[in-house]
Amino acid sequence: MRCPASNSPSQSPPDHTSGATRLVATLALVTLLGGTLAACGEDNTTAEHDAPARPVQVATVHLSPRHAEKSFVGVIRARREIDLAFRVGGKMVQRHVEVGDHVTSGAVIARIDPEDLRLELESAHAELAAAEANLSQTSAEDQRYRALRAKGVASAAELDRKSLAMQEAVGRLERAKRSLELAENRLSYADLVSDADGIVVAVAAEPGQVVSTGQTIVRVARLDEKEALVALPETALNAARKADAMVTLWAAPDQRITARLRELSPQADPASRTYPARFTLDHAGDTVALGMTATVTLVPREGAPVARVPLSAVFDKGHGAHVFIVEPGNQSLTARPVIVAGYTQNSALLSSGLREGEKVVTLGVHMLKDGQQVRTVPAKGEEASMQATPSPSATPQVMTDAPASAQEDAR
């Protein structure tokens, strides 16, 4: 039986050129793919090189003391305010000063009626004369009885009585002399005299009033030493002891007067719960009047200043704290190692690693890399918040809210 030719398999000789053809095709394909990949790499490099600089929010570095200055409002007072009073009682007939008058040492402030005191002085003179006469009499009798006793006429008992009488007369004379001195002094006390230069700040009695011994008539403030009286909260007690003090008058804001803490109350005022403190003014002139409103500023005594940066500006990738500095020449980033001295609620205090005026990246630092080209966007109000000298009332903050567009660009 014969099979059809169409159903018989083809028996062709082997083709020796097919393997070489496949090898050539493979090499061509590899060459084509290599060129394509190289072209893609060149395009990516070019695209990355030509990409626009990334916007970053920055703030300017300012070096300042670690602790902020603190200011407190007070009033100018005299260190010594003296209440002048009569040393004797009587009816005041004259007062020569009013509030605000300047007085000098030895000036008569007021006078009481001296008539009763003059009568006491006359009585003391009379008592002295009587004591002198009595002494003369008893002395003569003592001498006479001594002569009679020597002749044996007078008794010893009578001589003793005369001698004791003479001694009593001597004591009476001494008492009369002291009484006369007291009467003279009391008469001189009728004039109230100032014992120092000063200014009258208060009066407490009027002419015609009967005053008692020691009752305040006027209050005189001495002008040789002036102070600023302020009320300190308990959080400022340590700063008041250690800081330097400067006083500024509201009437003369450009004038700064050095001061020193003289007195700090150990107990808080029961009503205000503050501690009264007195700062003595150095070289306070006549322009510093009593009662003026003053501001006492406590300036911390510290060595090296610190830089305050936002907490978001500091990063640590396992090699210590760093911040990104924008180089002013080519606008590229440089990772700078820093030393953190402490933290506040919103800031990190850097004691080393930064210089005055440098630009620090404040947002998105974990998405940046060293050497990257950037475009700086200043933080909103950062010039006002990063001052070289902190504000007296609060610690300055570097980081502030940036515009919404800048924050989106930083992200």
Same domain, 161 and 277: no
pTM of the model: 0.55
User: Does residue 137 form part of some domain?
Assistant: yes
State the 10-residue block means of pLDDT for the chain, 411 residues long.
41 48 54 49 48 82 79 92 93 93 92 93 93 91 85 83 89 93 93 91 93 94 90 90 89 88 92 94 84 89 80 90 90 91 86 89 89 83 44 36 37 38
Same domain, 383 and 336: yes
Same domain, 277 and 174: no
- How many domains is the chain partitioned into structurally? 4
Inter-helix orientation angle 115-151/156-188, to 10°: 160
Alpha-carbon gap, residue 202 to 36, rounded angstroms = 101
User: Does residue 20 form part of some domain?
Assistant: no
What integer pLDDT is reported at residue 378 of this predicted model?
82
What integer pLDDT is reported at residue 31 of this predicted model?
53
| Residue 100, Ramachandran bin (φ over 0: left; ψ between -120 and 50: alpha; else beta) | left
User: Does residue 43 form part of some domain?
Assistant: no
Burial 132-154 (b: 16+ CB within 10 A, else e): eebbeebeebbeebeeebeeeeb
Q: What is the pLDDT of residues 42-97, one digit of tens each?
A: 444 444 455 577 888 898 998 877 777 789 999 999 999 999 999 999 999 999 99
What integer pLDDT is reported at residue 376 of this predicted model?
85
Same domain, 399 and 339: yes
Q: What is the pLDDT of residues 32-57, one digit of tens each?
A: 555 544 444 444 444 445 557 788 88
Which tokens sit at 177?
A: 């002399």
User: Does residue 243 form part of some domain?
Assistant: no
What integer pLDDT is reported at residue 407 of this predicted model?
38
Same domain, 219 and 88: yes
What integer pLDDT is reported at residue 187 of this predicted model?
93
CATH number at residue 308: 2.40.420.20
Same domain, 266 and 396: no
Same domain, 389 and 365: yes
Alpha-carbon gap, residue 202 to 71, rounded angstroms = 30
Which domain does 374 fall in, by range? 54-69+304-410
User: Does residue 247 form part of some domain?
Assistant: no
